[in-house]
Amino acid sequence: MQNFLDPAILFFVVGVLAGCLKSNLEIPQPISRFLSLYLLMALGLKGGFALAQSGLTAEVAISLGCAVLLAVCVPIAGYQLLRRIVPPFDAAALAATYGSVSAVTFITATQYLDGQQIAYGGHMAAAMALMESPAIIIAVLLANSLRQAAQSVMSAGGAAVLGSPIASNDSTRIGKILHESFTDGTQLLLLGAMLVGLVTGDLGKQAMAPFSVDLFKGMLAFFLLDMGLLAARNLGSLRGQSPWLLCYAVLAPLAHAMLALGLSVAFGIAAGNAALLMVLAASASYIAVPAVVRYSIPEANPSMYFSLSLGVTFPLNILIGIPVYSAIARHFLG
């Protein structure tokens, strides 16, 4: 209940209500873009300052290793399940969406932990950056293999039944996808801000506090208002979707979070870091993945993966998931 009394969460609810009521309330796109860049920059600085204080430890390496493992295993397992429900190209796109992460969900989770006075490491921001790209790369590789299989069947005189047309530009360049994934502006800003915080330490923290600390809560509330509007306006796209997909959008994040919890217990990761790892595993991308997958896997239906991640999984994580995952992590890891 305490999570619902947080001003930032309440502004998200206001945005959802305004969207459902078809209000003309709207956040201009340039402002929304600025807010997302500000939040990433502030988060990166905060992580860098924390790393400067704690240093690079064994737990840092273990946490980052678990993050990468999750980023590889989740999309592969997701694809194997989803291809039984939807056409293969849609399965690959959905696997990328739910294998990647939501920066806004992560940022909201850090604010929740701060409010609950639960300690966590600044390196978890680096874990978020590491978890964004592997799912995209895996999905593109899967899509390319599907196209090659279809071409082989057609060249043999058969008809490929894959549930979607074959893209004419099947030679998607993996090198280009890799370049876009690892040089994405938001990732570079996050990692660059972490480096600045790491180098400047306490002096930098004091100098940037009015920017990265004092303004952070208000900026997050403003951005979550915009996210609430977007989530509500994408609810209509869920009509006609398979009930199994809706179940996946609700239950898969829970399963991913439990996998992250298992890794955290096995490797003795601290409760705060485990909670954030669970949040990252449970989140789904609605910005980075759709932007890349829309062009690299044009056979997939964008309304499917975008509406499920933003219309179902994102609100559930913001309103319910974050406090639940945090409570579970504290129960098992103290």
Q: Where are the domains of the chain?
A: 31-333
Q: What is the mean pLDDT of residues 94-99?
A: 96
Q: What is the mean pLDDT of residues 203-232?
A: 90
| pLDDT score, position 159 | 47
CA distances from 22 to 17, 19, 232, 307, 309 (A): 9, 5, 9, 17, 21
User: Worst-scoring range by mean pLDDT, 40-44, 65-69, 92-96, 280-284?
Assistant: 40-44
Question: How far is it, in rounded angstroms, from Cα 271 to Cα 326?
Answer: 8
Q: What is the pLDDT of residues 52-63, one digit of tens each?
A: 887 778 889 999
| pLDDT score, position 217 | 87
| pLDDT score, position 98 | 97
Question: Which CATH class, in words, describes the domain spanning 31-333?
Answer: mainly alpha
| pLDDT score, position 246 | 93
Helices 103-115 and 271-282, axial angle in degrees (round to 10): 150
User: Worst-scoring range by mean pLDDT, 49-53, 156-160, 213-217, 243-247?
Assistant: 156-160
Rg of the chain in Å (alpha carbons)? 20
Q: pLDDT at residue 165 above 60?
A: no
**Residue 14 CB burial class (10 angstroms; 0-12, 13-18, ≥19):** middle
| pLDDT score, position 167 | 43
> Residue 328 corresponds to which amino acid?
I
pTM of the model: 0.85
Instruction: Determine how many CB atoms are found less than 10 A away from the CB of residue 242.
Output: 11
Chain centroid, CA 219 distance in Å:
19
Q: What is the mean pLDDT of residues 144-164?
A: 67
Q: pLDDT at residue 182 above 70?
A: no
Q: Does 205 or 235 have the greater pLDDT score?
A: 205
Question: In the numeric block, which tokens belong to residue 201?
Answer: 């330490």
Report the chain's mean pLDDT, rounded to a whole number. 86
Q: What is the pLDDT of residues 321-331, one digit of tens each?
A: 999 999 999 99
Q: What is the mean pLDDT of residues 171-184?
A: 58
Q: Which of 15, 6, 50 is nearest to 35 (CA)?
A: 15
User: Worst-scoring range by mean pLDDT, 121-130, 204-213, 230-239?
Assistant: 230-239
Question: In the numeric block, which tokens belong to residue 219?
Answer: 């900026």
